[in-house]
Structure 1
């Protein structure tokens, strides 16, 4: 389908309109005189091949070739090639490949499309690349002025769309030019115009089938794709991988097609985002430019092996998992030519204490560092980016995050960096994230990541390309995995409280509901009875309602709690009583329909709960001054539950207990999650912690309530505890302790012990117990039974404080 040109007695729009009119159209077009079989005056589709990579195919990729018979170059800026299946339905959509550059006068222009697992020869260097999978036998291809997808689904509608410059239907395509589609397309044959590019607006007359003969704008190509004498080019192009990577995080060639880029394959990924890593063994002298790059093959399994010497043609692209992460520089829509096998691999970069900087990232005042020239000697993020895609290795690394369900393990290559006593790496400040951490995954299906706990070691050498993803940042895709040496980490057991000690614990039980397997209840119960030695009071977080995540309005949690109480008793513990307040449906965040809340378990043989009626989801608990001391207006009660501070977040649960004749006020918390915060490895430095704003408001609400109790009695005995979703050095905790009304017990531990959770290889604090000044005699313990292990009952560790309530 060509643009309407002077001298034509019948325009393409009129011709297609006649085709859509049925039998009359056949009569009208049958006698098109041969005199109109003249070369087109502008750009046309010259050849279409959809059998690339199929069984018996001569080529590995589909392609569309454009032609320009005119005496001037034809500008394709803003144009696209689009494809629609031969028998479209109402839900069919056009697939789009944007174009650029121009078709030389009298020349051709090659658009490479999807590759398959078969085929024997690569295309010549493409002028534009896409990933459209054309049918080998039937479909419609359009050359379009614009890159927005066409919406026409009939011949008449497509004829009326003035953006369509030319159109070819082949096989049995319903949308085509003239009397019928071009015939004869198959796995081994294309449909092509004559060399003079005759265009009569009749696909069946203008196209014939034959051996595919792709030709690019440089005139390279011919039968089989690479010319009459050489089926594939073997000479490297002028672009090298370090030119693609450049000295910043974003490639200076982003969006451009590069041809015949040389390198050695260092790793192949055959699952998920398939592709392979290519590295140039001839490095430049600039330590800011990586010599490695990922070649993304999409759903196609790469037809290369480690050690292959390869030339790659494709489009440079930056893949960012989200708007706040960094991106990975890739070559997409690749055509790969294997020149030889079994080549020596480039020497790997060594990851160790002496090579990775101690500073983590440049500071852009919260803005993007993408345009910053890399400084790999100064910053760890720059070091990894300067080696993105390159082969790397480390030896004898310590495991700092147990193996995950995704078959990943975190290690540190800096064995002396902020170690915990149990083998982890503690996270102690925002401005000094641990730089030795790196996530490891295996590329070898026969050698999967072993089940490892914190403190274990990957002994010997681990080798593989450096990659980047949105779930932890830089990682090593292991082609050679070290040997696991176990540290035999044990789950801790705390001592039993004395008769005059009140034992209060907090435990996030990770979305517990009645449908959870019996094993989860049993393991959590063992944690309470054995590891925590049956505390007198336990504040639980993440207790879900009686039907878990089923979103049907249920808010009660009696079945969940009772099943847990029964499991504790079966494990040899006391028969706990409990108190809580049902939330409003879907108002407290967490898993939709789950209605998580805090719950008090207490041993009635040791403590008594003071019940005062009236507490519900929306009633605010108040402090009441009495001659006998402060009391809660309702018990249990919620702290200012209608405050904006608690929007879509859990409201604190306050309860009044009696122990040895003394009143003790316990406030259980589960502050707003960190969801929405920018990652520490992201493009913005330092990353924004947007979720902290709400947590500070929540901390201020709790602080205000604690002050009301202390105003009524400066010696009031108050325990504030729970999952605060923030660190001991955070503004959240500072707001909670403001005025000296509470002491965060984590700060009484050595820095190497201040953690309750492990995330991305960092041992960090999210859970806390805080005491008012009157409770100065205490024994505090974080009991490590979950976070450091691959096999967890919960992702949080519980903690406990044993308090002498009498001075």
Structure 2
């Protein structure tokens, strides 16, 4: 059913008063946000487009008050998805009067198709509205904003945008409610333009509802067999969501549950979409309920519902799930039911925790690994990922809020997360309380009420805090390492002309947004970033550290600065933190800096008290690296005794752009293969006989072909050798290593151990400096955790063992 305002549908509200399921209830008053009695009721931008019936776009207003409103001087403004008001044709000044309880139809531009004209418009304007995504604002005669509607992927909206539209659908206000959240207030459906002459049609006699069980309504397929029909049933409230945007409750058949189901069975639970229900019923209430059977994005539900409380219902029992149902069919039998997952689950995705309040879980005691970090690309990787999908489910927060865009959400503590409960990937958890199994964009375990903050009483899980506060011990007289420092830029966005920014919840700039400089936008944000990087590096206590993603200042187009400015600044900050000259940087080689260098580079810092440089650094100026970062080599030696070694710092082409070779290894894989061939060829021709370590961010997982090329040239992947399940990065709910340290045979004789220091890749992005003040809870701390999005690697060396190493 395409939901409309209460004035149009005359829907009945659920009440606690005495009633029969076939009785008539008075319609609830039209709900309006304070100060907004006039609203945009429907928007349609597909007029005249392919597949459209109507020839014109339109905007429809509705007056929900009991007095006429003079529209003289009011303005309707259309904006593109990017927020561009476009030409003057997109702005229309209104005239006329809109009667109480009446509509006002504004005809916009025509398309080339369509067969049916709009009803006689109350005003004709000329905006050519987009069919899928756009925004409409209504201003009063004084220029104040009366109402705003954004649909699709747009930048102008209230709360969160309404769904994207098609040429055959409009966004129409649901039940006349205006909560200042477009996603909650508008429903996508067939366009229903109404002008000021429209009158409520005589309602046809409603058929008696079908008396059914919840299992009957659910059916045994993926959708209800009674879609669009009025049904009546009895159920016990198992979950209620008066806040957070779900706007409803879950019901389950009295006395059901407690027994595991088989594929082909029907579920005994169902969702009821109703604001009154959500706000007035409590968990444990038993009700007789009548409503329309419907599907919403894969979730079976009842809409347009009313009910009464009754007595005598048998209690519902949660069904113990001894393991996670693997397939859609196995999960479908529990849709909307109260379940209690048993055993151990492992967090494998916490990126969406900062945005949608969700944790991705894998059943069992391990997270999900990127397939090509474990097995070879191709058939093996496809089979591995298929098994990943069978083990995955989302733990939601009982809310549809987007904490990055919804103003109310930003002022509400983010669910689940705190420094004491960091919910890191790889952390194991168990379910302490039952949850609902539902489908909202994906299969979810849903708490029985909205989770607000990290100490909410309805949090259904208990998880460990497995943060590694100290760097792993790897032995040896020297330690070397590699660390991607996440765009450490001393040049700031505020100093780059026209540089856009990402802002916190108060509108303050934090980080740059597609500028030449890629790090902090303000001095305050840079100081936050620097404090975390300094804490991490000084916590490693390494003697040689290969850094990636540090600014190449000389590559900046609008300044003339030395190449080593940023790395020198970092060294100063590190030394200031320890109060001594603990660090120095390897200078850039004279006359060898590439003219086409990326704005980020590789660089070495080292402890001058324990390590000395042998000769100057070298850059591999090979065309294979023209779309990446050129490798940097430096020979080192312990000051006291022992064998020298060569470290080569790398940062390959990323997986985010470039050609797709179809092998499932991300974009630009042929580039990374060419870079591995060029790198190993350089080693064999220039460093023959040396102990060589290849270090850095290779943007390739451990079993991918660029890594196979390196290993085929005689190098050993040290972290994977000493810690086979170690990972440095998380992406899309999968863990894997893009960062590596490789040793040739001469270098491997020096190695005493290797480990990943898990301080970044497992952490929620909410702890990063770049997300500070995005939520009312301040997650920032000047510590090592979430100092970057990559974990550092540390390797122990015994360089004093003469006769085993190479001189």
1:764 aligns with 2:736: yes
Structure 2 distance, partners of 1:583, 1:302, is: 65
Check conservation: 1:525, 1:568, Cα contact below 8 A.
yes
Q: Deviations over 1:668-719 (max 9, x none)?
A: 22441468999xxxxxxxxx87552423531332233312431455434332
| Of 58, 77, 95, the match for 1:91 | 77
Structure 2 distance, partners of 1:338, 1:582, is: 75
1:603 aligns with 2:585: no
Structure 2 distance, partners of 1:511, 1:563, is: 14
- Give secondary structure in 2 for the equivalent of 1:274: coil
Check conservation: 2:695, 2:742, Cα contact below 8 A.
yes
Aligned CA distance change for structure 1 residues 89 and 267 (closer, same or farther; 3 Å): same
Structure 1 distance, partners of 2:116, 2:595, is: 46
Aligned CA distance change for structure 1 residues 490 and 702 (closer, same or farther; 3 Å): closer
Check conservation: 2:646, 2:693, Cα contact below 8 A.
yes
Structure 2 distance, partners of 1:415, 1:261, is: 40
Structure 2 distance, partners of 1:383, 1:274, is: 24
Q: TM-score, normalized by length of structure 1?
A: 0.56
| Of 211, 215, 227, the match for 2:203 | 215
1:405 aligns with 2:354: yes
| TM superposition shift of 1:576 | 1.9
Structure 1 distance, partners of 2:565, 2:700, is: 31
Q: Deviations over 1:7-66 (max 9, x none)?
A: xxxxxxxxxxxxxxxxxxxxxxxxxxxxxxxxxxxxxx9x97489799x9834679xxxx
| Of 516, 522, 527, the match for 2:536 | 527
Check conservation: 2:650, 2:695, Cα contact below 8 A.
yes
| Of 79, 101, 126, the match for 1:136 | 101
Q: In the alignment, which residue of structure 2 is the partner of 1:565?
A: 571
Structure 1 distance, partners of 2:619, 2:275, is: 56
Aligned CA distance change for structure 1 residues 261 and 457 (closer, same or farther; 3 Å): farther
Check conservation: 1:456, 1:484, Cα contact below 8 A.
no
1:481 aligns with 2:459: yes
| TM superposition shift of 1:784 | 2.5
Structure 1 distance, partners of 2:665, 2:559, is: 27
Alignment of 1:414-429 (within 5 A): 414-416=363-365, 428=374
Check conservation: 1:756, 1:766, Cα contact below 8 A.
yes
Check conservation: 1:440, 1:475, Cα contact below 8 A.
yes
- Give secondary structure in 2 for the equivalent of 1:667: strand
Alignment of 1:146-295 (within 5 A): 155=123, 215-216=203-204, 219-220=205-206, 235-236=209-210, 247=221, 251=223, 257-260=228-231, 262=233, 264=235, 265-270=237-242, 273-276=245-248, 278-279=250-251, 281=253, 287=264, 290-292=267-269
Q: In the alignment, which residue of structure 1 is the partner of 2:790?
A: 796
1:659 aligns with 2:650: no
Check conservation: 2:103, 2:195, Cα contact below 8 A.
no
- Give secondary structure in 2 for the equivalent of 1:774: helix
Q: In the alignment, which residue of structure 2 is the partner of 1:390?
A: 337
- Matched length: 565
Q: In the alignment, which residue of structure 2 is the partner of 1:449?
A: 416
Structure 2 distance, partners of 1:564, 1:457, is: 36
Q: In the alignment, which residue of structure 2 is the partner of 1:512?
A: 488
- Give secondary structure in 1 for the equivalent of 2:396: strand
Q: TM-score, normalized by length of structure 2?
A: 0.56
Structure 2 distance, partners of 1:763, 1:720, is: 22
Structure 2 distance, partners of 1:578, 1:260, is: 75
| Of 726, 734, 749, the match for 2:722 | 749
Aligned CA distance change for structure 1 residues 339 and 757 (closer, same or farther; 3 Å): same
Aligned CA distance change for structure 1 residues 285 and 400 (closer, same or farther; 3 Å): closer
| TM superposition shift of 1:785 | 2.9
Structure 2 distance, partners of 1:704, 1:653, is: 10
- Give secondary structure in 2 for the equivalent of 1:312: strand
- Give secondary structure in 2 for the equivalent of 1:339: strand
1:715 aligns with 2:689: yes
Alignment of 1:305-704 (within 5 A): 305-306=282-283, 307=285, 309-313=288-292, 315-318=294-297, 328-329=298-299, 334-340=303-309, 346-353=316-323, 355-357=324-326, 376=327, 382-395=329-342, 397=344, 400=347, 404-406=353-355, 408=357, 410=359, 414-416=363-365, 428=374, 430=381, 431=384, 432-433=387-388, 436-443=391-398, 448-449=415-416, 451=418, 452-453=421-422, 454=424, 461-468=432-439, 474-479=444-449, 480-482=458-460, 484=462, 486=464, 489-495=467-473, 498-499=476-477, 501=478, 503-514=479-490, 515=523, 516=525, 518-530=527-539, 532-533=540-541, 535-544=542-551, 560-572=566-578, 574-579=582-587, 595-607=599-611, 635-640=618-623, 646=627, 650-659=628-637, 662=644, 664-673=646-655, 692-704=666-678
Aligned CA distance change for structure 1 residues 157 and 736 (closer, same or farther; 3 Å): same
Q: In the alignment, which residue of structure 2 is the partner of 1:131?
A: none
Q: In the alignment, which residue of structure 2 is the partner of 1:785?
A: 759
Structure 2 distance, partners of 1:295, 1:505, is: 55
Structure 2 distance, partners of 1:710, 1:140, is: 76
Structure 1 distance, partners of 2:27, 2:435, is: 34
| TM superposition shift of 1:494 | 3.5
- Give secondary structure in 1 for the equivalent of 2:759: coil
- Give secondary structure in 1 for the equivalent of 2:680: helix
Q: In the alignment, which residue of structure 1 is the partner of 2:185?
A: none
- Give secondary structure in 1 for the equivalent of 2:482: strand
| TM superposition shift of 1:666 | 0.6
Q: In terms of Rg, which structure is larger?
A: 1
Aligned CA distance change for structure 1 residues 570 and 239 (closer, same or farther; 3 Å): same
Structure 1 distance, partners of 2:294, 2:203, is: 18
Aligned CA distance change for structure 1 residues 667 and 491 (closer, same or farther; 3 Å): same
| TM superposition shift of 1:748 | 1.0
- Give secondary structure in 2 for the equivalent of 1:338: strand
Aligned CA distance change for structure 1 residues 53 and 798 (closer, same or farther; 3 Å): farther
- Give secondary structure in 2 for the equivalent of 1:313: strand
Q: Deviations over 1:618-648 (max 9, x none)?
A: xxxxxxxxxxxxxxxx8234542565xx3xx
Q: In the alignment, which residue of structure 2 is the partner of 1:740?
A: 713
Check conservation: 2:645, 2:747, Cα contact below 8 A.
no
Structure 1 distance, partners of 2:659, 2:337, is: 30
Q: Deviations over 1:730-783 (max 9, x none)?
A: 34422443x3332212331353x4222355765533321112232222121222
Structure 2 distance, partners of 1:702, 1:773, is: 18
Structure 2 distance, partners of 1:288, 1:314, is: 19
Structure 2 distance, partners of 1:382, 1:553, is: 60
Structure 2 distance, partners of 1:84, 1:717, is: 74
| TM superposition shift of 1:336 | 2.0
Structure 2 distance, partners of 1:794, 1:569, is: 20
| TM superposition shift of 1:579 | 4.8
- Give secondary structure in 2 for the equivalent of 1:719: strand
| TM superposition shift of 1:505 | 0.8
- Give secondary structure in 2 for the equivalent of 1:449: coil
| TM superposition shift of 1:787 | 3.7
